Structure 1
Amino acid sequence: MISTPDGVEVVATRAEAAAMARPPLLVLEALTEFLDAEDLGSGAICWLRIGEGHSNLTYLLRRGARSLVLRRGPRPPLPKSTHDMVRESRIQRMVKDAGIAVPNIVAVCADPSVLGVPFYVMDYLDGVVITSEEPPDFATVERRRATAFAAVDMLVALHSVDVTRGGLENVGRPDGYLERQVSLFSTLWDTSTQRSVPEIKSVAAWLASNTPTSQRASVVHGDFRMGNLMFEQSAPPRVLAILDWEMATVGDPLADLGYFLATYAEKGEASTPLELTQVTRYEGYPTRDELAVRYGAATGLDLSELRWYQAFALWKAAVFCEAIYTRWLNGERPGDTFAPTLADGVPALAGASARLIGAGLRGTRTDPEAGEHGCS
């Protein structure tokens, strides 16, 4: 039985799990039976929680010579229409069939009686994710530039997938995607917050009044950033897989580009609270403008409204981070060290969005002294 500050994380048997007020995250007896039925390794399970996510959870599993990765949602209760592991796995399989680099999913469990929530299992990939450090082989001016361009080229490839076939035509409704997103997240703010952050309402109004017309439909990852890309261990930089497909749908591709640029740290530029891979400030990494130009040249899309998409990314992040913060206030995320930082982090994200659109707002308060925080 393994305990953490937010409760027991792993237990050996179903009986132990049933006796607990808060369900564990892994029940080794039940998981062993599931893996045996799927013919995924043999023997005892060795496990390790991996990844930086504050939403869904990822575990490295080892059984004999087999290495696997399990992805599951947090403990119930879960907000409606979130943490849908079955949908997430289905979309990954579709884009993999279309030639996009993603982890190979080997099993999906829709039965919540096994671990308390649905989950899926992937083959382990031996790659590197760049966040606060970069691999030594990547630490040259030329390779840093190549790394960022490899990321944006992967985004171009994703947005080139035909969404009228292979099951993707049933994934989302691209018509009105941006309008629905602004409306949905405005509603989510109203239902999840317990405080007032003035910029949220004013930015939402500006976004709704200035929504651009989508130029085409594509697969939208929803959280496309450097920290969700796994690169091969050796140079030259090559993306081994795109990770974390929880928010994927079919919609406006520039929503991904705006988010990617909003999360990208640029040397010499003011930081934003959503920057999660600080190493891109090092000498050699291209600017946001260079990345946008490369994307625009490859896709032919008009980027004149890109500021809207970047502001939308920061505002949307503020809203979903507020939901995390409120769950912590309600005692649903005990022991979480990230959620308390959102007391200042959410207003900082909202303020950054307001400053980005600046002259488009009237009567908006921003706080240039707000602390810097990120969320994923």
Structure 2
Amino acid sequence: MTEGLDLDALARWFDAQRPEVLDTSAPLTAELITGGKSNLTYTVSDGTRSVIVRRPPLGHVLATAHDMSREYRVMTALAGTDVPVPATHGLCQDDDVIGAPFYVMERVEGTPYQRAAQLEALGPDRTRAISERLIDTLAALHAVDYAQVGLADFGRPDGYLERQVRRWKKQLDASRSRDLPGIDELATRLERDIPQSGDGTIVHGDYRLDNALVNDRDEITAVLDWEMSTLGDPLTDVALMIVYQNLATLAGDAAQVTVTDAPKAPGYLSVEESIERYGRASGRDLGDLGFHLGLGYFKLAVILEGIYFRHTQGKTLGSGFEGIGDSIFPLIDAGLAATSR
């Protein structure tokens, strides 16, 4: 049995719900896709065809953070828009099938570039083109009329930033297992200085290069990992993307282990170029991102603390967790710096 995925039970589900997707006359095989530190992602094959199965992580799971129906719904809604997403094949919310909710989607060809070394092999011109398309795809997402694609009730843009601060404080308390100097001060500053939100859009919630697939023509073929998507302030997506970009140099080797150092590759757009390109594509004012950056650092610190907590319990699958606990402290410091302006 593949850990976290009962293939016999999954085969019975395919037979009953989507028999045209996979041939279950022979045993299915599965492989955990490496690098997943949140929802678990598997390639499942019948020997000829392959699909992707996503389920929540094992062990300690933060409330609302691993909602399978949310990912499934937003990707289904975005099909046919300018935002590339995998085709969806089915959603199961019955825990009795494999022990947790899950959904099935198309396996899209492409590379999730996580490391600078991967991009360096492509050269600076291709790297620049890929980073430009990442920005353009984010602007395209924020331009989608969410009501027109059936997502009018997907979230509440009004009061979004206030709810985000409250939510991530709650998530922190649920994962708090050690002293994190400065994080409560950061939370206090965020509560005190919440700006007025702009027009609401669909927000991805964890937008970065390795949550997208890129083909050999340097096109983005799919945006993945929609577990934190909702309707809200689009600048939170922009700021978190910049946080990831800054993280590439923020904490040295510790940061590279836990998330991504892809933005360090020669040719990758600078932070200033990224902000300028998004502003030009979207028409939005990005003059003051201090609060949004502080929220991004806080959110990422809380996410990584939750992963660290699961790792200390032995409930993480895959590799890449060494040093994750130490990488949180530079995030807190950067969040305090962003909110002190």
TM-score normalised according to structure 2 size: 0.89
Picking from 225, 228, 251, the partner of 1:244 is: 225
Aligned runs of 1:66-77 on 2, under 5 Å? 66-76=49-59
**Are 1:29 and 2:8 matched, yes or no?**
yes
Tell me which residue corresponds to 2:182: 199
What is the aligned length? 333
**Larger relative contact order, structure 1 or 2 (CA cutoff 8 Å, min sep 6):** 2
Tell me which residue corresponds to 1:129: 112
**Do the aligned partners of residues 335 and 262 (structure 1) sit closer, same or farther apart at CA in structure 2, a change above 3 Å counting?**
closer
More moved, 193-202 vs 247-256: 193-202
**Do the aligned partners of residues 113 and 76 (structure 1) sit closer, same or farther apart at CA in structure 2, a change above 3 Å counting?**
farther
Kindly provide the CA deviation profile for residues 136-156 of structure 1, in whole angstroms up to 9, marking residues without a partner as x.
8x7222222111100000000
Task: State whether residues 77 and 151 of structure 2, in contact with CA within 8 Å, keep that contact through their aligned partners in structure 1.
Answer: yes
Picking from 332, 341, 356, the partner of 2:338 is: 356
**Are 1:280 and 2:263 matched, yes or no?**
yes
Kindly provide the CA deviation profile for residues 159-210 of structure 1, in whole angstroms up to 9, marking residues without a partner as x.
0011233321101011010111112212222333133323111111222222
Equivalents in 1 of 2:235, 2:264: separation in Å? 23
**SS of match in other structure, 2:42:** strand
Equivalents in 2 of 1:264, 1:327: separation in Å? 25
Aligned runs of 1:289-368 on 2, under 5 Å? 289-329=272-312, 331=313, 333=315, 341-357=323-339, 359-360=340-341
Tell me which residue corresponds to 1:96: 79
Q: Cα offset for 1:339?
A: 5.3
Equivalents in 2 of 1:266, 1:78: separation in Å? 25
Query: Which structure has the larger Rg?
Result: 1
Q: Cα offset for 1:50?
A: 0.7
Equivalents in 2 of 1:223, 1:334: separation in Å? 19
Q: Cα offset for 1:119?
A: 0.6
Equivalents in 1 of 2:127, 2:295: separation in Å? 28
**Are 1:219 and 2:198 matched, yes or no?**
no
Kindly provide the CA deviation profile for residues 11-43 of structure 1, in whole angstroms up to 9, marking residues without a partner as x.
xxxxxxxxxxxxx41212111111223112212
Q: Cα offset for 1:135?
A: 5.9
Equivalents in 1 of 2:321, 2:149: separation in Å? 38
Equivalents in 1 of 2:274, 2:60: separation in Å? 40
Equivalents in 1 of 2:210, 2:22: separation in Å? 29
1:343 counterpart letter in structure 2:
G
Task: State whether residues 255 and 327 of structure 2, in contact with CA within 8 Å, keep that contact through their aligned partners in structure 1.
Answer: no
RMSD: 2.4
**Do the aligned partners of residues 228 and 334 (structure 1) sit closer, same or farther apart at CA in structure 2, a change above 3 Å counting?**
closer
**Do the aligned partners of residues 324 and 280 (structure 1) sit closer, same or farther apart at CA in structure 2, a change above 3 Å counting?**
closer
TM-score normalised according to structure 1 size: 0.82
1:101 counterpart letter in structure 2:
P
Q: Cα offset for 1:79?
A: 3.1
Q: Cα offset for 1:266?
A: 8.9
Task: State whether residues 162 and 194 of structure 2, in contact with CA within 8 Å, keep that contact through their aligned partners in structure 1.
Answer: yes
Picking from 129, 154, 157, the partner of 1:171 is: 154
Task: State whether residues 294 and 335 of structure 2, in contact with CA within 8 Å, keep that contact through their aligned partners in structure 1.
Answer: yes
**Gaps spanning 5+ residues in structure 2: where?**
none
Kindly provide the CA deviation profile for residues 285-304 of structure 1, in whole angstroms up to 9, marking residues without a partner as x.
22110010010011111112
